[in-house]
Amino acid sequence: MAQRSREKKSRRLRLAFIDDNTHQHLVTLHFTRTSLFITIITIIVVLCAAVYSVIAYTPIRTFIPGYPDARSKRAAIQNAITIDSLENVIFRWELYSENLRRAVEGEEPVKIDSLIKAKQGPDAAALDAARLARQDSILRERVKEEEQFGISDRGHRDLPIEGMHFFAPLKGVISQGYDPSIHPYIDIAAPEGSVVKATLDGTVIFAGWSDEAGHTIQIQHDGDIVSIYKHNEKLLKKAGDKVTAGTPIALVGNTGELTTGDHLHFELWHKGQTVDPTLYIKF
């Protein structure tokens, strides 16, 4: 019994190709069941690898139904860019309409700058604070250097800032109020092209372009007061021009990097310090 079992396990098989007319053996193959199984598996693996290589690394893959070609990929990228632009536009209009609704109902408006800082993250917010501090120092130096544009004379009676009559530079919705530490100015939302007016009599000490603030104009007034208007679409005055309260000086726009919609960035400085414009002006 043991000898028969060993003979059965070691049984060899033969595959012969014979000429049907002459009965001549053309090819004879000898193999075992194990070698036959290994050969079949090897052939299947090689065929699968060859088919995968042809499909993955040759242009033949473009003939597969549903496989994206170069044109489809370009169209998908362009669609993604368009969708991103549309989302930004929709966000602006939603924010603008929400601020209008809150203003009508007497609620606190949404703060635009705080939303920008929230998206940028804590590191970007710290960098913004450092940049604002640096800009504050630069502005103080510029105001001191441009004292030559002051229009007050020695015989004129200087009134305290509380006794001055300020003209509203723009009628609109205050989208973000004054905060002495992180937002020492106010943002007034209004349609593009709205007229921006001088808040007091004075002389234009700066009128030009800034990458961050866009078209900017600064006016020196009596009593060591400076007013600043940023993100304008167009400036109507140039440095050295004399203006009176209520004189058109610019048009509302959305220029510069630090802006998300049509609005006026308005700053009021008194004796080198920023003050809350809403304490003296009714918008």
Q: What does the pLDDT average to over 71-89?
A: 78
Select from 226, 16, 71, 8 the least CA-distant residue to 136. Answer: 226
Helix axis angle, 112-120 to 122-145, nearest 10°: 130
Query: Is the CB of residue 37 less than 8 Å from the CB of residue 30?
Result: no
Q: What angle do CA 168, 105, 278 make, to 5 degrees?
A: 25
- Under the banding of pLDDT at 50, 70 and 90, the label for residue 102 is confident
Give the chain's mean pLDDT: 80
Helix (H) or strand (E) holding 55: helix 33-57
Question: How much is the pLDDT for 66?
Answer: 61
Q: Which fold would CATH assign to domain 114-279?
A: Glucose Permease (Domain IIA) (2.70.70)
The pLDDT score that the predictor gives to residue 283 is 81
Torsion-angle region of 120 (φ positive above 0: left; ψ -120 to 50: alpha; else: beta): alpha
Of residues 110 and 86, the one with the higher pLDDT is: 86
